[in-house]
Structure 1
Amino acid sequence: MLHIVLRRRAAGESVEKIRTGLIIPTGKRKGQNPGLASIYRALAEHERAQAYPEAVEQAHVDFAALPVKEIPHPWPATARQPAN
Structure 2
Amino acid sequence: MQDKRWSVNITIDEHENRTRAEARLQKEGGGELVGTGLARLNPKDTDVPQIGDELAAARALADLAHQLIEVTASDIEQSTKTPSDLNA
Q: TM-score, normalised by structure 1?
A: 0.32
Q: Larger relative contact order (C-alpha < 8 A, sep ≥ 6)?
A: 2
Q: Which has the higher strand share?
A: 2
Q: TM-score, normalised by structure 2?
A: 0.31
